[in-house]
Amino acid sequence: MNTDSIINCTPHEIVLNSGATFAPSGEVARVSTDSTVISTDDGVTYARKSVGGVVGLPAEQAGVKYIVAAMVFDNCNRRDIVAPMTDVAVRNDKGHIVSVPGFYIK
């Protein structure tokens, strides 16, 4: 696939091990969440988080793939999304991701 047809919908630059780079598009896809406070004990709050729908993901376009975060990928059933393979990423000495080998697909 031509890398020009891949749009990065994360807030981070994505770099592949091959050197291909995908700058953030400015559109960030996210999963909405809500929390309900269950209790507070000695100043510590305990809450339950509920996951909502995906927001900020552009409409499907023929021939276009959208890079999204793993949480979006896991909560969306569209076949036009991909997620960086961060579990097998190259990391620097501080543990920060330098590059990934590719993308997970649906």
Q: Is the pTM of this model over 0.95?
A: no
Q: Which long-range contacts (CB under 8 A, 24 or more apart) does 52-55 make?
A: 54/29, 54/30, 55/29, 55/30, 55/31
Per-residue pLDDT of the chain (106 residues; tens, 9 = 90+): 566 799 999 999 999 999 999 999 999 999 999 999 999 999 999 999 999 999 999 999 999 999 999 999 999 999 999 999 999 999 999 999 999 999 999 9
Q: Domain residue spans in the chain?
A: 3-105
